Structure 1
Amino acid sequence: MLNTLTRSLTSIHLWAIAVGLVISGEYFGWNYGWGAAGTVGFLIATLLVTLMYIAFIFSFTELTTSIPHSGGPFEYSRRAMGPIAGLIAGYATLIEFLFATPAIAFALGSYLHFLYPAFDVLYTAIGCYVVFSLINFWGIKESAVFTLVVTLLAVAELLLFIGIVSPSFRMELFLNDSMPHGYVGVFAALPYAVWFYLAIEGVAMVAEETKNPQRNIPFGYLSGIATLAILAIGIMMVSGGITDWHRLEAIDYPLPEAIGIVMGKDSSLTKLFAGIGLFGLVASFHSIILGYSRQLFALARGGFLPQRLAAIHPRFHTPHIALVVGGIIGIIAVCSGTTQQLIVLSALGAVVMYVLSMVSLFVLRKKEPELERPFRAPFYPFFPVIALVLSLVCLVAIVVYNFWLSVLFFGLMGVLIGVFVGTGMHKKLAE
């Protein structure tokens, strides 16, 4: 069975994928953090998470360039700590990507419903799965070009949003009821701050499809995190000072609503902004489909999932069966979940994977000191320690404030580990 991917991605494609994977987080989802912590409380949470991601990406880039494998975190953990660690990292990464996608699909449906009330949110979300799975099926280069175009449009729109809204910013509004739950609220808001950056590590999953990965991957990661940090803090700040922020804390289209407050809901600019705002959601939706399909492919190729998922289409050179299966799982999640719960589950998967990745970095430094490392984590061991500690803090915050979702997440993980060990797969794959 053909299971070789084609190398065709350049540094600009990787920047677009890095930003595209995440940029929907600037459009919706983060505003739930205001409900948990208030504006200043959420700003503190966001600054902490930004520090975590900067340290994490500088450290994670060492892993990605040293081991350019489409499995990404699954392969790093397996290589460092064995098959069970690989299974946990693969499971966590799949949860992150598979459940981020339906949350974005909900937001796409909500944005279209905001523009045209005749559009049903659920049916629109399902339709998006069909359309963008087909685009991903077409080929990696074509998918990357599409991602580049919509990501550029999304970044331009967010900069336009900041420019339009910032003259209406009032500090007294931003500081009103700014930390209603004190520092406990900061702790509770951490998962929503993670949403600003969640999935940027998905660049690792196209490492096998990248030309000169040792040079292009660091550029994609580092330029991507810089772009996202500027946009995240800018958007959160200006949005919180144009009105009573409670009006924006629990909706799936906060930016069109903010423009509507500033310009008037009947303004043509408000409608235009909501329309082109779809580009940011499309960029993330499309890019995360790319990510979860490669993770399913890599886990199947490694023997952790049915081999059929590792099939590559002979003409388009894409993991077509993984795309279909991931889409079916996402559609089921769209029909059964809510945006807020999906964001929390996705963030939970992400921080578990971050913890394993940083531990893998330390283990591999000792276990394989001769491994070629084209990019070495700066300020080692401080950056990976910062990333590891803050990831653990975020993990505790998610579990404390989302207990039953955490029980579901770790319960399913326990079942998978039990089946994995009970069938002897951990010994077979360790050979």
Structure 2
Amino acid sequence: MTMQDAISKPAAVATAGHKKARGALGLKSLMAVAVGLVVSQGVMVLMLQGVGIAGAAFIVPLAIAWVLALCYAASFSELSLMIPRAGSLSAYTEVALGHFPAILSVFSGYVVVAMFALSAELLLVNYLLGVLYPAVEGTHYIAFGILGAFTLLNLLGIDVFAKLQNVLAFAMVVALTLLGVSALTGGFAPHQFHAADLAAGFDLGNGAFTLIALAIWGYVGAEFVCPLVGESRRPERNIPRSMYLGLTVIFAVFALYCLGALFYVPQEVLLSAELPHLEYASAAFGGSGTFLLAVAAVTATCSTVNTSLAAVPRMLQGMAEQGQAFPALGWLTSGSRVPWVAVLFTAGVTGLPLLIWGNDPSTVELLLIAAAIAWLIAYIIAHVNVIALRLRYPEAKRPYRSPFYPLPQLLGIAGMAYAIFYASPAPELTRQIFTSAGVVLGLVSVVAVAWIKLVMKKPLFRPEPLDEIAEG
């Protein structure tokens, strides 16, 4: 196949309603996407910082954040099956609210997140492996190696992605579960603290509820199954189930992981250490714990990168097909039908902060929380989309309807707004975090306005008709 053959003609991705949908992804593979994107090394660090602040009481904001995550899963399930397009959030939003919110939602919630969160994830791998294996040369190049390898693998097609993702997600969940269960039972090393100590320190008045924002970061990303709706088997069943089950598995794994840490590591160490998960693994397993942690961390990072390089390019592809982005982002390879320009663009955006910040671990928290703010804005837009479409198209076909409507949407909007307000657990970082997120979102907004007015020549907030988008 020549390059000319590969890029000769953009073709629309098969949607769930099309006969040519490939159906390569079943429930197991979709759950692997949901779990594999959410459970990252950065999240492993942030969860332990939450435990360091609130102790065992962190389980309460962790549970509240799980409920809020189920709310966004309900909204995304309804939207993705009502409008089963590769563009995902952009397609839903242009029908509900118009083109400007559509472009802003995808770039804020996914492209900006790739720039911040994936870069932080790769930076953490570099730093962790450098600490664990200081005698090994070239550990600072590992991040670029991971990014390059998974870029190439995703260019090969969705079948390769699915096989890799199943293995990565399984290895990661097993490693984290082993760590949590072993820590709770004291199977490898005697406990430094006991259940009575944890109960005595259980205090919801110690700022625990302000940690809902931090806890939510432990669940964001399960909706990455939605852009893969055209590649899914029985999407009306498997899309909602994969998110609900995946989020519940994540809650169980993180509950074990966080509570287990308190039996071995003082709260002040969990809060102040640059690599609290390394302190945890070393205390619970001794020398062998470092290897288990290396497996969990590397598989978590690879899983996150793999999922992002599969889902974000398909969002950009859908936007290109609707005229909301450069047409080149919709170009597909003729054989595997991969949006190859969008894959390369996403990889480039991810690698840019690594070139700017290098291996400085102090930037990880800044990058992750700035990404969280952008992501939560996208979730608010998704909830608003459901409400707007229920009002505008009450009789439209909905293969899945959000249960208890509009309670999950109203609760989700309020919860995400609260989380954004309390986004930074460290007051000294608040200004820097909001400045970083604000500058990037401001630039995205300016570019979106210019594109809609000068290129698309359409109003900013006029929704497109549902029948045109659903049939497009």
TM-score, length basis structure 2: 0.83
Counterpart of 2:371? 346
Secondary structure at the counterpart of residue 377 of structure 1: coil
2:268 equivalent to 1:246: yes
- Aligned ranges 1:409-428 → 2 under 5 Å: 409-423=440-454, 425=456, 427=458
| Contact 2:63–2:251 (Cα < 8 Å) also in 1 | no
Specify which of 66, 80, 92 is matched with residue 50 of structure 1.
66
2:400 equivalent to 1:384: no
Question: How far has the Cα of 1:222 moved from its partner?
Answer: 1.6
Counterpart of 1:331? 351
- Aligned ranges 1:338-377 → 2 under 5 Å: 338-377=363-402
Question: How far has the Cα of 1:359 moved from its partner?
Answer: 0.4
TM-score, length basis structure 1: 0.90
Counterpart of 1:131? 149
Counterpart of 1:39? 55
Counterpart of 1:408? 439
| More off after superposition, 351-360 vs 292-301 | 292-301
Bigger radius of gyration: 2
Distance 1:47 1:269, change over 3 A: closer
Counterpart of 2:182? 164
Secondary structure at the counterpart of residue 423 of structure 1: helix
Distance 1:27 1:211, change over 3 A: same
Specify which of 282, 288, 292 is matched with residue 312 of structure 2.
292
| Contact 2:56–2:259 (Cα < 8 Å) also in 1 | no
2:89 equivalent to 1:89: no
Specify which of 233, 253, 256 is matched with residue 231 of structure 1.
253
Distance 1:272 1:385, change over 3 A: closer
Distance in structure 2 (CA, Å) of the matches to 1:107 and 1:310 = 32
Question: How far has the Cα of 1:321 moved from its partner?
Answer: 1.0
Distance in structure 2 (CA, Å) of the matches to 1:256 and 1:42 = 20
Question: How far has the Cα of 1:82 moved from its partner?
Answer: 1.1
Specify which of 10, 34, 59 is matched with residue 2 of structure 1.
10
Secondary structure at the counterpart of residue 3 of structure 1: coil
1:115-144 CA deviation, whole Å, 9 max, x = no partner? 322355542212211011111111101101
1:151-207 CA deviation, whole Å, 9 max, x = no partner? 111111111111211123524654787779943x742x3443122112111111111
Counterpart of 2:294? 274
| Contact 1:98–1:292 (Cα < 8 Å) also in 2 | no
| Contact 1:137–1:318 (Cα < 8 Å) also in 2 | yes
Aligned length: 426
Distance in structure 2 (CA, Å) of the matches to 1:84 and 1:134 = 32
1:332-369 CA deviation, whole Å, 9 max, x = no partner? 11233421122112211211011000000001111112
- What is the one-letter code of the residue matched to 2:417? L
| More off after superposition, 316-325 vs 337-346 | 337-346
| Contact 1:27–1:253 (Cα < 8 Å) also in 2 | no
Distance in structure 2 (CA, Å) of the matches to 1:423 and 1:348 = 29
| More off after superposition, 331-340 vs 133-142 | 331-340
- Aligned ranges 1:19-30 → 2 under 5 Å: 19-24=35-40, 27-30=44-47
- What is the one-letter code of the residue matched to 1:163? V
2:119 equivalent to 1:102: yes
- What is the one-letter code of the residue matched to 1:303? G
| More off after superposition, 238-247 vs 307-316 | 238-247
| More off after superposition, 131-140 vs 299-308 | 299-308
Counterpart of 2:6? none
Q: What runs of 5+ residues in structure 2 fail to find an aligned partner?
A: 1-8, 14-20, 358-362, 465-472
Distance 1:383 1:272, change over 3 A: closer
Distance in structure 2 (CA, Å) of the matches to 1:96 and 1:82 = 22
| Contact 1:97–1:291 (Cα < 8 Å) also in 2 | no
| More off after superposition, 61-70 vs 19-28 | 19-28
Counterpart of 2:169? 151
Backbone CA RMSD of aligned residues: 2.6
1:81-131 CA deviation, whole Å, 9 max, x = no partner? 111121121222222234221121122223322432235554221221101
